[in-house]
Structure 1
Amino acid sequence: MSQPESTPPDHPAEQQPPEAAAAHPHTATLKRLERSSGRLAANAIARMDETLPWYRAMPPENRSWIGLVAQAGIAAFTEWFRQPDAPQAISTDVFGTAPRELTRAITLRQTVEMVRTTIEVMETAIDEVAAPGDESVLREALLVYAREIAFATAQVYAQAAEARGAWDARLESLVVNAVLSGEADEGAVSRAAALGWNSPEHVCVILGTAPDGDSELTVEAIRRASRQAKVQVLTGVLGNRLVVIAGGSDNPLHVAKALIGPYAAGPVVAGPVVADLLAATRSAQAAAAGLKACAAWQDAPRPVLADDLLPERAMAGDPAARDQLVEEIYRPLEEAGSALLETLSVYLEQASSLEGAARMLFVHPNTVRYRLRRVTDVTGWSPSDVRSAFTLRIALILGRLADAEAQL
């Protein structure tokens, strides 16, 4: 005699022994609800197809997952109606039916519309499903369940948002670290693109001290400031430094002023503008060198450009600053003629005195004045300005040293 095959129950409700169902105070309504669950789910899917345009436009795979979620929601209500006092994880019962990727395929608003449509279908069927006299009981139970499913929906999307936010923060940290360490490559560009970076033409790096406290709050403050300034940012706190990679503006000083609020007290240095994220390492290195050398210029503005700190950076051992001073100041003066170099040198050595320089050069003071204007035109630095004169003096020293080294 063959033994009957034991089949696993298809639904949690079938796992209950008959006496448990018989003990339910609304047994007739429960049985009618169990029999109607499939039809209610089909009606809910049909209503979604009729009233929700985004549902009709979805690919078949996602539509099938949404249909399973609707069926699981009605089945979970049936089980919840059976044992309303039992602890249950509605989010697991309902949303665990679909893959996690579904939270990316449909928005929270669309999920709310889906849940609302399903609840409305169940509400319209209360008089038909409930046993005579149980209509108010079933309606009240559905109201309570609707509240629970709303909380479960919010929890699912909150967890997905937290996971996505944590992943985005790791990606952003990788990009920022790659730029600072000089390891930016196409992989870093791809990661930045995944974060919404759309490859702006002008990019600069801004460095300063990070404030104490929660770094996530600091990063969020930078993002708010960037939205007001209408620039894109990639940002992060690395050690005690707050790093901002800003794109979309060719004025780094203006961007630094707009984003300076979240930085802690102390110098804030903006690196030069570069073409793209791959070249941002050069801006980051200049800003880092400027931040290191900023202590030598006690009256430095806040924020300050890395290029305004060229003499301090050169004295602190930054080879890029030394090369820049020689190539952008000394060599152009050298090419413009020996008269400009000689006049500038004598003028700086004579305590910026036109008359003193004129006497040393045996020329009229107006000639000295004309040559100094030519120096400004060639280099962009004015010898009559104290700060510019200091920069020009350092450039002359470095240029002479470079010439002497070349002759060895």
Structure 2
Amino acid sequence: MSPASPVVPSLRAADVLQRSTGALSTSAMARMETDLPWFRDLSAEDRSWVGVIVQAGIRGFVDWYRREGGRPGPGSSAVATSVFGAAPRALAGVINLQQTVDLVRLSIEVVESNIDAIVEPDDAPDVHAGVLRYAREVAFATAEVYARAAELRGAWDARLEALVVDAVLRSEADETLLSRASALGWTARGDVAVVLGDVPAQRTETDLFDEVRRCARAAGMDALCAVQGERLVVVLGGVDDPRVAAESVAALFGDGPVIVGPVAVDLGRAHLSARAASAAHRAASGWPQAPRPVRSIELLPERALAGDGHARRHLVDEVYLPLVRARGTLIETLSAYFERGASIEATGRALFVHANTVRYRLRQVAELTGYAPAQPRDAFILEIALILGRQSGRGEPPATQTDL
């Protein structure tokens, strides 16, 4: 078989290359020390593994050239096994893709620059062509190794993110939660809020979560996402205003209400926001006209009617009791106002006071509670608070408690 044949490899050239494998590997490692700054910064163990890869690559080329020659290469999977199989997969987390490309390029340059001095002149053109074909296979093998590593990392990150969000929903905040969030790139400092809504149809979780994170980053926030049953849960960090924060991602939820819980001081207390948002989401069907997104505190009456004890206590403690402790006439006036169909004149006649006195007292109610009796939605919240406060017996005179 003629050594000059462009198809069949030269056994003479393969034998020469085989004997030169050690020298080529040594030359490549020396070039790395001088030309690749990142290589010098590696630990001794990692440098040794890189050396193993270089040697495996050069030996792999010689074996391939002896076996395949001018025919198409063995495929990227076979090359990945022969070149990268000797080193641990963890090395892909130490050396990034660009550094691996630099490593492969330098190794090929070393082999090419020494071919003319190693093999016979008649064999040199065929060997040069073989190096180019093998380099292509190594390039595909490199891409395959890092693609698999990225896929595994993506799957691991998804599981880790789901664990973090689940811990927030279950009120299981601890140091593990914070360390896991940090591993996912959570850098938010400041207030945190949880947003809940239905999962949109015809979207993969990966695509959906990526879009949520993109929108959150555009608004200057971090985001953690998970799907719990039919619900999409988004934990936002770096929140200034909960409604504004929720508006940045609301369009990515499915049909139905989108609820945002109150802000928590950090991720460790985000379960407080999640608890309120979850309760509001369960009760949201009671207010079909609710804005989207809607804050959980705006659904207090629906939550109370649905059996949410936290909402009931809030309405009693933050709405009813302040009215009782302020002036007895405020509760009396508010009750009379509701009983008489929100008529100021009828309320004044029932209480034997001027209509302007009724208006003044109602303004006091609004200033004290934040809810204006003249506004239908606010009036509904105040009525529920009055009922719950009376049922609680708190702040009532002893006779009233006995009657209850």
TM-score, L = length of structure 1: 0.90
Hey, what does 2:232 align to over in structure 1?
242
Q: Contact 2:115/2:127 (CA < 8 Å) preserved in 1?
A: yes
SS at match of 1:299: coil
Alignment match, 1:272: 262
Identify the residue that residue 217 of structure 1 maps to in structure 2.
Answer: 207
2:251 is the counterpart of 1:261? yes
2:168 equivalent to 1:168: no
Q: d(CA) in 2 for partners of 1:54 and 1:349?
A: 79
Q: Match for residue 103 of structure 2? A: 114
**Hey, what does 1:152 align to over in structure 2?**
141
Could you tell me which residue of structure 1 aligns to residue 35 of structure 2? Answer: 51
* CA contact 2:191–2:237 (8 Å) conserved in 1: yes
5+ residue gaps, structure 2, are: 1-7
Paired residue secondary structure (1:244): strand
Matching residue within 264, 268, 291 for 1:301 = 291
Within 5 A, what are the aligned runs for 1:377-396?
377-396=367-386
Q: Which whole-Å CA distance do the structure 2 matches of 1:76 and 1:105 have between them? A: 23
Quote the offset at 1:185 in angstroms.
2.8
Say whether 1:315 aligns with 2:305: yes
Q: Which residue of 1 aligns with 2:5?
A: none
Q: Separation in 1 of the partners of 2:115 and 2:209?
A: 51
The Cα of 1:344 is off from its aligned counterpart by 2.0
Cα deviation digits, residues 163-210 of structure 1 (max 9, x gap): 111111111111111222233333222222221223532111111111
1:124 matched to 2:113: yes
| Mapped pair 1:191 → 2:180 | yes
Question: Shift in Å at residue 358 of structure 1?
Answer: 2.1
SS of the equivalent of 2:372 reads coil
Quote the residue 1:39 is aligned against: 23
**Aligned-partner residue type, residue 33 of structure 1:** L
Contact 2:9–2:66 at 8 Å: present in 1 too?
no
Q: Report 1:336-347 matches (<5 A).
A: 336-347=326-337
Q: How far 1:305 moved relative to its partner?
A: 0.8
The aligned amino acid for 1:117 is L
SS at match of 2:252: coil
CA contact (8 A) 2:9 2:126 kept: no
SS at match of 1:125: helix
**1:405 Cα deviation after fit:** 11
CA–CA distance in structure 2, aligned partners of residues 25 and 166 of structure 1: 44
Tell me whether 1:368 sits opposite 2:358 in the alignment. yes
Matching residue of 1:203: 192
For 1:204 and 1:39, how far apart are their aligned partners in 2?
61
Q: Secondary structure, in 3 states, of the residue corresponding to 1:196? A: coil
Question: 2-side partners of 1:52 and 1:404: how far apart?
Answer: 76
Cα distance 1:184–1:333, how it changes in 2: closer, same or farther (>3 A)? same
What does residue 93 of structure 2 align with?
A: 104
Residue 227 of structure 1 pairs with residue 217 of structure 2: yes
Deviations along 1:52-93, one digit per CA (max 9) or x if unpaired, are 111112222211211111111111111111112574611111
- What is residue 354 of structure 1 aligned with on the other side? 344
Instruction: Give 1:310 deviation, angstroms.
Output: 0.3
The alignment status of 1:328 with 2:322, answered yes or no, reads no
Match of 1:67 in 2: 51
Q: Partner residue of 1:15?
A: none
Deviations, residues 115-170 of structure 1 (Å, cap 9, x unaligned): 11111111211211232212221111111111110111111111111111111111
1:251 maps to which of 241, 256, 260: 241
Counterpart of 1:368, as a letter, is V
Residues 209-228 of structure 1: per-residue CA shift (max 9 Å, x gap): 11234222222221222222
Deviates more, 1:193-202 or 1:283-292: 193-202
SS in 1 for 2:353: coil
Q: Distance in 2 between matches of 1:247 and 1:286?
A: 17
User: Partners in 1 of 2:26 and 2:394 — Cα distance?
Assistant: 89
SS at match of 1:211: coil
Q: Which moved more, 1:65-74 or 1:212-221?
A: 212-221
In the alignment, which residue of structure 2 is the partner of 1:288? 278
Greater mean deviation of Cα atoms: 122-131 or 168-177: 122-131
The one-letter amino acid of 2:120's match is A
Q: Which letter does structure 1 place at the counterpart of 2:104? A: V
Between stretches 294-303 and 349-358, larger displacement belongs to 349-358
DSSP 3-state at the match of 2:193: strand
Looking at structure 1, the residues matched to 118 and 347 of structure 2 have their Cα atoms a distance apart, in angstroms, of: 105
Q: Which moved more, 1:161-170 or 1:354-363?
A: 354-363
Supply the distance in 2 between the matched residues of 1:238 and 1:128 (Cα, whole angstroms): 65
Match of 1:11 in 2: none
Query: Greater CA deviation, 62-71 or 350-359?
Result: 350-359
Counterparts of 1:25 and 1:400, CA distance in 2: 97
SS at match of 2:195: strand
Paired residue secondary structure (2:20)? helix
Q: Is the 8 A contact 2:188 2:222 kept in 1?
A: no
Cα pair distance change 1:311/1:143, threshold 3 Å? same
